[in-house]
Amino acid sequence: MLLKEQITNHSTDGHNETFVLNLGPQHPATHGVLRVKMTMDGEYITRAEPVCGYIHRMHEKMGENRTWAQFLPNTSRVDYLSAMHYTHAFVGAVERACKIEVPPRAEYIRVVTSELNRISSHLVWFGAFLLDLGGFTPLLYAFDDREKILDLLEGLTGARLTYCFYRFGGSCNDVDDEFITGTKEFVSYMRPRLKMYRALVTDNVILRKRLEHIGIVDAEMCRKYGATGPVIRGAGVPYDVRRAEPYSVYRDFDFDVPHYHENDCMARYLVRMEEIEQSLRIVEQAIGRMPDGPFQGKAPRVIKPPTGDYCYAVEAARGRMMVRIVSDGKEIPYRVKLRAPSFSNLSLFEEASRGMLLADALALMGSLDLVIPDIDR
Amino acid sequence: MSSDAVDAIAGRLREMNTPSSEDATVSIAEHSARGWNLDATVVPERLVEAARMLDAEGFGIDAVTGVDWIAAGQMEIVYDFFHPMRAVRAVLRTRVPRARPEVPTIQDVFPGANWHERETHDFFGIHFVGHPDLTPLLLPEDADFHPLRKDYPGAS
């Protein structure tokens, strides 16, 4: 409130000179190629307009000139930090359309790999966010821990980031003993690390002063802009696609949906840190109860979904990721729509950043956890 | 959301369509089969009203997109909604002639629709009447083409 009054006073005193500040498209705080055109009144933002599209690749058009299976690798390139979730949404949509049954073991494999991917994504956010705020050390810790997940997933899938591991009706490969032992070791390794993060970073008074009461995004704004994931959960709404529209076998697991009512950057920070713990819980349960059986069900050799449109949504690391497919019964999709969470999460930035200090707006931007290829698609 | 509440919304959407064109329909679907609970086709004139009703029911904007039905000479605009508090999903659709693709904007109801509509304008050339800024969002700033139209090269 104070900030808003200050800016109003400042701009009505007869010296309302504003200037345009161009942030990006090559700025470290924008994580990729996002440009923000900011109209500044001194150090205060009067308008911050995101300019998108620098790495637009027209994935949705590519969906219309290749077969359903050929489009699958594209989905892992949309949000490269959360690739498992994106491929999951696409195979889920096709499975829903073609009524392909997925064997339980495959669903458990999907849950384990998706949750590991969520942890690795949150660790990148953690490191990069702290880097935005001026702390370099946490990045090194976070990337060290993330490396263990990347190694595990590389052993299983052959890829370190752009996993294309799920298949219509199952997965590409079965989990081996090495992966299972490694994952168990990782879970018991990661828990003390999270305690260390709390002592090193979360309880740090400088961090708290940078994040508390800064960057207010409330539940109503989230709903009006379609912001989901940790952004809406930091606004006090326990909305999680894994609970709201249960998919795969998420009904089988005990986990909490962390949410905070403060609406500020700190709330979003705490949500993600607790989500790492919850993902570890899910991984532990899924590994412990992994059913035997095939990892790939029966799927037609040529995929031709019946005419009509179908949606499938998953909880990706940044929020609600939905694939909407329209089929005309051919081997090639008629239309593929990718609903990306970062796109909606960024769309509220212009309104949320109005009247903020530039340095605080960068904290807000970091707390939204943007992945630019996810916005531009 | 209870099935009664979904029925009630469906009923109000049905009323909006009278006197309706023959393709204005409202149906309730099994979420596990389609990915939504409620699917309503409304005439373009009633679109803002329908969005306002879903807004009052507490829905959030999920996405806006188009589908080019070139053989039928129509453009379909699809509006997806999620509910942050209840396990329910709604889809609104409307169809406009391909030669004159114009629908009213819903960005006054859901400010988040602003970007989705801009993107849909980029890709399909659908004009959202009343939208404050339809300059390209994802395409180059001087783009005058609409790549997701089926007659744009590269389509199957």
ipTM for the assembly: 0.87
Nearest chain A Cα distance for residue B11, angstroms: 23
Is pLDDT above 50 for A128? yes
Per residue in A19-52, pLDDT tens? 888 887 776 666 678 888 999 988 899 999 999 8
Position of tokens 């300019």?
A51
Is pLDDT above 70 for A6? no
Q: What is the pLDDT of residue B119?
A: 93
Q: Interior CA angle at B58 toward B55 and B59, to 5°?
A: 70
Contacts of A52 in chain B (CB under 8 A): 137-138
Residue of A nearest to B108 (CA): A224
Contact A332 B156 (CB under 8 A): yes
Contact A244 B60 (CB under 8 A): no
Instruction: Please tell me which of the candidates B34, B36, B148 has its beta carbon nearest to residue A61.
Output: B148
Closest CA to A346 of A20, A96, A30, A13: A30
Q: How far is CA B113 from the centre of its chain?
A: 10
Cβ(A319)–Cβ(A86) below 8 Å: no
The first and second tokens of residue A355, run together, are: 């009247």
Contact B140 A232 (CB under 8 A): no
Contacts of A33 in chain B (CB under 8 A): none
pLDDT > 70 in chain A, percent = 94
Contact B82 A219 (CB under 8 A): no
Instruction: Please tell me which of the candidates B32, B33, B112 has its beta carbon nearest to residue A226.
Output: B112
Instruction: Tell whether B110 is within 8 A of chain A (Cβ).
Output: yes
CA distance A171 to A296: 6
pLDDT mean across residues, chain B: 86
In angstroms, the first-to-last Cα distance of chain A is 36
Is pLDDT above 80 for A229? yes
Q: Span A8-22, mean pLDDT?
A: 66
Would you call B86 helix, strand, or coil by DSSP?
Answer: coil
Q: What is the pLDDT of residue A2?
A: 45
Per residue in A336-371, pLDDT tens? 999 999 999 999 999 999 999 998 998 999 899 888
Q: What is the pLDDT of residue A15?
A: 60
Q: How many CB atoms lie within 10 A of CB B71?
A: 8
Closest CA to B87 of A247, A374, A364: A247
Q: What is the pLDDT of residue A276?
A: 94
Q: What is the pLDDT of residue B23?
A: 61
- pLDDT category, A185, cuts 50, 70, 90? very high
Contact A310 B35 (CB under 8 A): yes
Q: Which residues 32-71 of B have a C-beta within 8 angstroms of A?
A: 32-36, 58-63, 65, 67-68
Cα dist from A266 to A154, A210, A213, A259, whole Å: 33, 9, 8, 11
Q: Span B36-40, mean pLDDT?
A: 87
- pLDDT category, B31, cuts 50, 70, 90? confident
Size of interface A-B (CB pairs under 8 A): 120
Best of A37, A224, A370, A372 to substitute, by most chain B Cβ atoms within 10 angstroms, is A224
pLDDT mean across residues, chain A: 89
Best of A99, A311, A312, A323 to substitute, by most chain B Cβ atoms within 10 angstroms, is A311
Is pLDDT above 80 for B15? no
Q: Which residues 116-135 of B have a C-beta within 8 angstroms of A?
A: 123
Per residue in B47-101, pLDDT tens? 898 899 899 989 999 999 999 998 988 999 999 999 998 888 999 999 899 999 9
What's the full length of chain B, in residues? 156
- pLDDT category, A116, cuts 50, 70, 90? very high
Contact A225 B61 (CB under 8 A): yes
Contact A324 B63 (CB under 8 A): yes
Of residues A148 and B6, more confidence is placed in A148
The first and second tokens of residue A183, run together, are: 């994952």
- pLDDT category, A1, cuts 50, 70, 90? very low
Contact B112 A322 (CB under 8 A): no
Q: Which residues 2-21 of B have a C-beta within 8 angstroms of A?
A: none
Nearest chain A Cα distance for residue B132, angstroms: 14
Cβ(A59)–Cβ(A338) below 8 Å: yes
Q: Span B30-38, mean pLDDT?
A: 84
Residue of B nearest to A345 (CA): B112
Strand ranges (E), A151-208: 166-167, 170-171
Instruction: Please tell me which of the candidates B61, B111, B138 has its beta carbon nearest to residue A376.
Output: B138
Contact A61 B58 (CB under 8 A): no
Instruction: Tell whether B25 is within 8 A of chain A (Cβ).
Output: no
- pLDDT category, B24, cuts 50, 70, 90? low
Q: Tell me the whole-structure pTM to 2 decimals.
A: 0.89
Q: What is the pLDDT of residue B1?
A: 60
CA distance B98 to B89: 28
**Residue A106 phi, psi dihedral angles, 5° rounding:** -65, -40
Per residue in A54-63, pLDDT tens? 889 899 999 8
The H-or-E segment that residue A119 falls in is: helix A104-132
Q: Which residues are within 8 A (CB) of A13 and not within 5 positions of it... i.e. 6 or more apart?
A: none
CA distance A234 to A107: 29
Per residue in A277-301, pLDDT tens? 999 999 999 999 999 989 888 888 8
**Type of residue at A17:** E
Is pLDDT above 80 for A159? yes
Strands B38-41 and B89-97: parallel
Q: How many CA atoms lie within 13 A of A38 on its CB side?
A: 24
Nearest chain A Cα distance for residue B15, angstroms: 25
Is pLDDT above 90 for A113? yes
